A = this chain, B = another copy of it.
Amino acid sequence: MAARSKNKGIDNRDNILKNARRILQKKGGQNTSLADIARAAGISKGTLYYYYSSKADLIYDITQDHMKSITATLLKTVEEKADTENATDIMYLVYETVIKAKARGRLHLYLLQEAVLGNAELQKRFQDAYSEWFDMITTGLKRVLKERTDVEILAHVFLTSLTGGIIQQLIGNKSLPLKPMAQWLTGNS
């Protein structure tokens, strides 16, 4: 829709992106204006519009960045430990790591809202991210649970549960028994 990746001033875009994510995580989406983001990035509103032709454009790139960040977290946890740890520990670690990053969760919820509110491009990005994470989880689990044939279903259950866990964390529900849940999920036959 909007012109993206103009290839000009990539460092500037990076600077904007970093600061935008930082302030969005701190203040929450609805409380952050473009003026706030510009100020956080140390540039003027005019300059912001020089690099991003609309708010939707900026939000798309922020989403991109955000998704990559989650993917990196998953990758680090799943890939690096897949050989040394058992499935339960990995799953628990993912639960803990992803769910407890509350500021990131708040940003996630905000971007979700933007996507759901009719931004088709953003929705596509979320769907792609889900696929990507699904593949990573499946691949990781297959390496540990070699003999199991239900890994894909397990991955779906786990991923949806992970998303739901983020939500629960955001509304302050501290009582989720993440460790037993991880045990239960991997204790399947």
Residues in A lying within 8 Å of B, measured CB to CB: 28-31, 106, 109-110, 112-113, 115-118, 123, 126-127, 130, 150, 153-154, 156-157, 159-165, 167-168, 170-173, 176-177, 180-181, 184-185, 187-189
Contact = CB atoms under 8 A, between A and B. Distances in A.
Given A153-B180, A156-B181, A187-B188, A171 B113 contact: no
A58 to B, nearest CB: 16
A164 B118 CA distance: 19
Tell me whether chain A's interface is mostly helix, strand or loop, or mixed. helix
A184 B149 CA distance: 11
Identical chains in the assembly: 4
A173 B127 contact: yes
A164, A170, A184 pick with most chain B CB within 10 angstroms? A164
B123 A172 contact: yes
Contacts of A176: 156, 160
Contacts of A185: 157
A105 to B, nearest CB: 8
Contacts of A29: 113
B170 A112 contact: yes
A163 B157 contact: no
Nearest to A113: B113
Contacts of A188: 184, 187-188
A28, A167, A172 pick with most chain B CB within 10 angstroms? A167
